[in-house]
């Protein structure tokens, strides 16, 4: 049929993404600042805030491990059930989480996770 040759006279290009893509690029005025300013930026920040979601995750994994160790009743049967392999997996998962988040946790998160892992390891060794 008919073929039209469509040509755009004015192209509108959104280049706002460029500002977001280079947030660490110093502006021309920042380039002339002394090295002291960059040293101040590299100083450690204040302690991370305690995350409610992280605490819920750790508590949930800990409760599952306790359930598998027979320390708390299974929610469906309301009876304690032991599954040491599942308990081991939960403990190893918490240990991996502890290792991967080392240095990035708040004091409360670190204490909670460390205490929970230690307690679960003791209970597991008593059962195994």
User: Residues 60, 61, 62, 63: is their CA dihedral positive or negative?
Assistant: positive
What's residue 117's pLDDT? 96
Of 47, 50, 27, nearest to 37 by C-alpha is 27
What's residue 95's pLDDT? 96
Q: What is the pLDDT of residues 58-115, one digit of tens each?
A: 999 999 999 999 999 988 899 999 999 999 999 999 999 999 999 999 999 999 999 9
Q: Could you tell me if 106 and 112 are in contact, meaning their C-beta atoms sit under 8 angstroms apart?
A: no
For the entire predicted model, the pTM comes to: 0.62
């Amino acid at each position: 049929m008919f073929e039209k040759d469509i040509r755009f006279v004015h192209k509108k290009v959104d280049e706002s993404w460029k500002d977001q893509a280079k947030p660490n690029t110093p502006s021309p005025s920042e380039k002339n600042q002394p090295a002291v300013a960059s040293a101040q930026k590299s100083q450690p920040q204040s302690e991370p805030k305690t995350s409610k979601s992280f605490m819920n995750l750790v508590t949930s994994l800990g409760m599952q491990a306790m359930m598998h160790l027979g320390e708390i009743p299974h929610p469906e049967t309301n009876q304690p059930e032991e599954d040491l392999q599942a308990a081991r997996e939960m403990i190893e998962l918490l240990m991996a989480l502890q290792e991967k988040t080392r240095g990035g946790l708040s004091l409360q998160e670190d204490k909670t996770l460390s205490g929970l892992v230690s307690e679960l390891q003791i209970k597991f060794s008593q059962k195994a």
